[in-house]
Amino acid sequence: MVRSFYTETWTRQRAPLATDAHNNSAPNWSGTLVTATITGCRLQPISADEVMENRYESDVRWRLLAPYGSSVTYLDRMLSPTSVVYEVAGDPLPYNSPTGAAQHDEIMLRRVTG
C-alpha cells in the first residue's frame, strides 16, 4: 500500500490497571485514561458477523495499519477519527522490511454492538 494513503489520526486509550477479587490485573475503564495520538494510520475491514437470536448483535473486525513502534498493547482501546471506540484484539504485530519503506504495526480491532 502506498504510504500516502496512511492519512488518519487515531487516539490510543490506556486505562490504569486494577486488581479484581481474584487478584488479577485488569484495565479499569472508569479510571483516568492515558491517551496518545498516533498519526499516519490506515483502517481496513476484515470481517463482520451478525447474530439475530433473541437479540441483534454485530461483531465487526478491522485491521489498523499504524506507524512502526506505535506502542499499542492488547489491553488498550483505540478511538477513531470519527469518535468510534474499538477494542484491540490480541497483540499488535510489528512488520519490518529490508528497506524500511513498508515498516508498520498491524493492530487488529474489534467492535461488538447489540
Would you say 8 and 43 are in contact if contact means Cβ atoms under 8 Å apart?
yes
CA distance 111 to 84: 9
Q: What pLDDT score does 82 carry?
A: 95
CATH number of the structural domain 3-113? 2.40.10
Cα 72-100-87 angle, rounded to 5 deg:
20
The residues facing 51 across adjacent strands are 57
CA distance 50 to 7: 30
Q: What pLDDT score does 102 carry?
A: 75
Task: Tell me the whole-structure pTM to 2 decimals.
Answer: 0.86
Q: Where are the domains of the chain?
A: 3-113
CA distance 101 to 79: 26
The residues facing 113 across adjacent strands are 58
Q: What pLDDT score does 20 carry?
A: 85
- Polymer length of the chain: 114
Q: What pLDDT score does 1 carry?
A: 46
Low-confidence ranges of the chain (pLDDT < 70): 1-3, 100
> Which runs of consecutive H residues, i.e. helices, occur in the chain?
none
